Every structure is written in C-alpha cells, then in structure tokens.
Chain A
Amino acid sequence: MFLDAGKYIFYFLVFPGFIFTLAVGLISVWIDRKVTARVQWRVGPPPGQPLYDILKLLGKETIVPKNSNKTLFLSAPLVGLGSVTIVSVILWLASVYKISFVGDLFVVVYLLMLPSLSLMIGGMASGNPMAATGANREMKLILAYELPFLLCLAIVIIKSGISINMVDLAGNHVMGSISGVLAFLISLLCIQAKLGFTPFDIAEAETEIMEGPYIEYSGVPLALFKITQAMLLFTLPVYLISVFLGGLNFRGLGILWTVLKYVAILVVIIVIKNTNPRLRIDQALKFFWRFLTPAGIVALVLAIIGHISGIDWL
C-alpha cells in the first residue's frame, strides 16, 4: 500500500512527471529559440538559457497588483502546471508501462485545456485591461480550436474500433488512411494554437497588448507559467505521437524512432512559427471555423464510412 503510494509519487514528481517533462521541455524550448535564431541568421542563445531564465525569475521579487484578486492571481499558474504534469504522467504510463483506465483519453483532452484556462483566469484576476483583452482573445481562440481538435479525436476513436483507452490507441495505425492523415494535420494546427505560437500567438501579442495575460506577472508566478509552457511544448507533441503516430516505444531501435517522431513534430511546429505572421483574432476564428472544422467533418464522415463498410484506407 505504502509502496504503491510511493511509486505513484515517484511517477508524478520524477520520471514521467514533473522533473523529466521539465527537463525535456527546457531542451525543446532551447531548440525552438536556437532554430528561430538560425532562421533569422543569428547565433542564438546558449543551451542553458531556458534554465537560466527560470532560475532568474524564481529569484526575483513577486509583485501583486493592488486591484487584483490575490488568491486567483497567485493560484492560476499552479492550475496549469498541475494539469500539464498529470497529462504527461497519463500519456507516459499508458505508452511505456501500459497502465491506463477507461476514458483516460477524455481526461487528457480536458486537462490539456486547463493551461489556457489558467492563463485566462490569471489574466482576468490581474485587473489589467491589457490582460483582460488577452484573456478575451484566448477565450475566443479556445472556442475556435476545440471543435476541430475534438473532431480529430473522434476520428481516432473510430479508427481504433471505438475504444477510449490510451493503451488501445497507441497500437493502431491511424496514419494509414486518408481521414487519419487529415486528422493529424488538423490536430497539428490546433496544437500550434494551444501552444500559443505564431500565427496563433494572438493572446500574448507582445507588440500590441504587451504579452496579454502575463503582463502583471513577475517573479515566481511568471516562472511557473514559463515552466508550464516549456512542459506543454513537450507534452503536446507526445500527445500527437501517442494518439496518431503509434505511441512511444523504448525497446531497441524504438527509442531512435520515438525521438525522431518527436523532433520531426517539434521542427514542423517551429517552422510554421517562423514562417508566418500573426493573424488577427477574427482571421484565426475564420481559419478554424471555415476551413479546419469542415475539413474535420469531411474526415469524420470518411472515417465512419470506412468503419461501416470495412475499407481501411478511408
């Protein structure tokens, strides 16, 4: 009993959980900044830079604005951090240890929404008009990308023979069909928006609303937000891999293959980030609702037809 509890605490804090995700996340952030710098013909920061940033923020003064809601303002970053950690644990336990429970797929999807929600709560609680504008935009963005994101998930569920278990999903071959490929591409764009990367960094837009919801944050809470972002940069590609690309595999050559999948997704995300200008919020809404949602519906219909008539490649 105690041994079990200890095992789960270890899962949560060290191996697939907090420390491991944070370490890989920081490396990913460095890769992101380095590639961005190389694209712009610069040299870029040293490998330890994301870690230095976070250490520095942890050592700075934390200012709480006078007309903010103190409790909400300070607890919002914790919500995001906690949810990303749990998502990471669920994904890894399902992929590596084959531990899973019925419906964990939905838990993951809901928990993946919490970081954006915590950002909104924090922004609203800070009492700053810029932050409120940013939170507002974040809310619209969530409304825009959640629908296609869930449609893609429905396709995956159908493809895996109506299973809502992470372990069953890891083994199926979604990418061997038209609807699967479509769903993967749509999910990739939704994840770009979830990460708050250009062209969908509308909520943080530092040149117009000065980092939006983050504007009043300093010191430790800001560090927590940065940590959450770094962990998301690792967790969301892992989610894509577990749902669409056959899961993580650490036996023999599988390690190489898994790392390759992760790096490929990361590079695609970074390249999209660096080759696109920021959209306006209405353009982003139009993009998701007029293009991606209908595409998702088409893919879903294809998947259903394929499932009923037993054609695998649809």
Chain B
Amino acid sequence: MSWKIWALKKSPWVFHVNTGACNNCDIELLELLTPRFDVERFGIKLVGTPRHADALVVTGGVTRQAAPRLQEIYRQTPKPCVVFAIGSCACSKGIFKKGYHMIGPVDKVIKEVDPEAIVMYIPGCPPKPEAMILGVVKALAAL
C-alpha cells in the first residue's frame, strides 16, 4: 500500500452533493457530524468545495438537471477520489424508478465520465448513520 492511499484513508474529506434527494438522506448525513456519531474521530471532515474533497457523497437519484453538474463536480475533484452513493435512490433510483425526470443512478452517471471510478453503495431509505459509518469503513478497507 503506498503512502498516498494510507494517508487518504486516515483523512478522507467529503463533499456533499445532492442530486435530487428528498432531503431525508441529507439530514441523516448531517447526523454523522453531531456529537452522537462524530466522524471527525476518523479524520472525516465536511469541506465546502470539490477541490479539497477526497470523497463525493451523493444523495438522491440523478435528475436530468443534476446529471451534467454531477459530472462536472466529479471532474473537478482531484484524484484519487471515491464516490459514495448514499440511499436507495442514489444506488438504484429507489422509489423514483419510473420518474420521467430521472436519468439514472449515480454510478451510471459517474461512469459516463470515468469508467474507472470507484463507487460505493450504501442502500437504505434513508440509511442509518451507523450503516453509513459501516459503509465508509468497509470502503476504506477495500481501497
């Protein structure tokens, strides 16, 4: 394992992208920063710009309007980076499966830009904060 990946695992900074979530996943995500779960213990920090991010946390299935923006944000993120698809919508379009405005789940949209992209799935509607932490831990172990 190179030192770059080692350091990345020790301090993953995340940028939160909402591509059409019903807002419930976002609220659960913010729960992670509260004293109860406190992900800063693992060096995880929420940053304000994709340029500083190591992980994009995407909530919600990708709508027509959001798809080009998500791709742009992915291009702006310095590599190596990881994409987390949080919630059933982001993993598989979820309850919006038949929606006319849905382009596709997150992995499909991201892989149009970069077929090599690393996408992690955390299903649930919304996923529990514990599930998200577990997902992040598993993802980092698999890097």
Give residues in A with beta carbon < 8 Å to B.
33, 37, 40-46, 48-49, 52-53, 55-56, 58-63, 206-207, 210-211, 214-219, 222
Contacts and interface: CB of A to CB of B under 8 A. Distances in A.
B69 interface: no
A217 B51 contact: yes
A59 B78 contact: no
Nearest to A34: B40
Given A59-B4, A61-B79, A215-B51, A53 B40 contact: no
25 contacts: A43-B40, A43-B41, A44-B38, A46-B41, A46-B43, A49-B10, A52-B7, A52-B43, A56-B4, A56-B54, A59-B2, A59-B7, A60-B8, A60-B80, A61-B80, A63-B78, A206-B47, A206-B48, A210-B49, A215-B48, A216-B49, A218-B51, A218-B78, A222-B51, A222-B52
Interface residues of B, number: 23
A41 B35 contact: yes
Contact of B8 (A41, A46, A56, A214): A56
B11 A56 contact: yes
B100 interface: no
Interface of B: 2-4, 7-8, 10-11, 13, 35, 38, 40-41, 43, 47-49, 51-52, 54, 76, 78-80
B3 A42 contact: no
A210 to B, nearest CB: 4
A305 B52 CA distance: 53
A37 B40 contact: yes
B43 A40 contact: no
Contacts of B4: 56, 59-60
A55 B49 contact: no
B11 A42 contact: no
Contact of B51 (A43, A52, A53, A63): A63
Contacts of A58: 7
Contacts of A37: 38, 40
A39 to B, nearest CB: 11
Contacts of A215: 48-49, 51
B11 A52 contact: yes
A63 B76 contact: yes
Contact of A42 (B38, B43, B51): B38
Given A45-B43, A52-B11, A210 B35 contact: no
A59 B80 CA distance: 9
Contacts of A61: 78-80
A83 to B, nearest CB: 24
B35 to A, nearest CB: 4
A214 B52 contact: yes
Given A56-B8, A59-B4, A218-B78, A33 B40 contact: yes
Nearest to A37: B40
5 nearest A-B pairs in the assembled complex, by CB-CB distance: A59-B4, A52-B10, A56-B7, A210-B48, A55-B7
Contact of B35 (A40, A60, A207, A217): A40
B10 to A, nearest CB: 4
A210 B52 CA distance: 11
Contacts of B79: 60-61
